[in-house]
Structure 1
Amino acid sequence: MHIIKVDAIDSTNSFLRGLNREDKLVEKVCVLAREQTAGKGQLGASWVSNPGENLTCSVFMPIQKIEASDQFYISMLVSLSVFDALQTFMIPKLSIKWPNDILSDKYKICGILIENIVNNGRLTGVIIGVGINVNQKNFENLPRAASLSMLSGRNFNVEEVLHSFLYALEKRFAAFDVSGFMSLKQEYEKCLFRKNKPSMFKDREGDSFVGIIQSVTQQGKLQVLLEDEIIGEFDLKELQLLY
Structure 2
Amino acid sequence: MNNISANTSFIGKSVIYVPSCHSTNDALNNYASEKLAEGTVLVTTEQTKGRGQRGNTWECDQNANITLSIFLRPSFLEARNQFHLNVAISLAVYDTISSIAPRGTKIKWPNDILINQKKVCGILIENFIIGKNIDHTIVGIGININQKAFKGNFSATSLFIELKKKFQVRIVTESLLEHIESRYLQLKNKGYSALRKEYYTHLFWYQEIGDFEEYEKDGSSVRFKGQILGVDENGCLSIAKDDKKIKNYAFKEVKHLY
Identify whether the pair has TM-score above 0.5, normalized to the shorter chain: yes
Give the letter aligned to residue 227 of structure 1.
D
Unaligned residue ranges in structure 1 (runs of 5+): none
Question: How many residues end up aligned between the 2 structures?
Answer: 242
Residue 197 and residue 111 in structure 1: after superposition, are their counterparts in 2 closer, same or farther (change >3 A)?
same
Residue 130 and residue 152 in structure 1: after superposition, are their counterparts in 2 closer, same or farther (change >3 A)?
same
Q: Report if the CA contact (8 A) 2:230-2:237 is conserved.
A: yes
Match of 2:20, SS? strand
Distance in 1 (alpha carbons) for counterparts of 2:208 and 2:114: 16
For 2:109, the equivalent position in structure 1 comes to 98
For 2:28, the equivalent position in structure 1 comes to 16
Residue 64 of structure 1, CA deviation: 2.6
Distance in 1 (alpha carbons) for counterparts of 2:56 and 2:230: 26
For 1:213, the equivalent position in structure 2 comes to 228
Q: Report if the CA contact (8 A) 1:65-1:178 is conserved.
A: no
Residue 164 of structure 1, CA deviation: 0.6
TM-score by length of 2: 0.89
Residue 196 of structure 1, CA deviation: 1.9
For 1:159, the equivalent position in structure 2 comes to 170
1:148-227 to 2 correspondences below 5 Å: 148-177=159-188, 179-204=190-215, 205-227=220-242
Residue 228 of structure 1, CA deviation: 4.1
Identical columns (%):
34
Residue 26 of structure 1, CA deviation: 4.0
Distance in 2 (alpha carbons) for counterparts of 1:218 and 1:104: 27
101-110 or 57-66: which moved more?
A: 57-66
- The structure that is helix-richer by fraction is 1
Q: Report if the CA contact (8 A) 1:5-1:32 is conserved.
A: yes
TM-score by length of 1: 0.95
Q: Report if the CA contact (8 A) 1:108-1:144 is conserved.
A: yes
For 2:8, the equivalent position in structure 1 comes to none
CA deviation digits over 1:159-218, x for unaligned, max 9? Answer: 111111100000111122464322211111111111222111111131101101111111
State the superposition RMSD in angstroms.
Answer: 1.5
Q: Report if the CA contact (8 A) 1:137-1:150 is conserved.
A: yes
Residue 100 and residue 159 in structure 1: after superposition, are their counterparts in 2 closer, same or farther (change >3 A)?
same
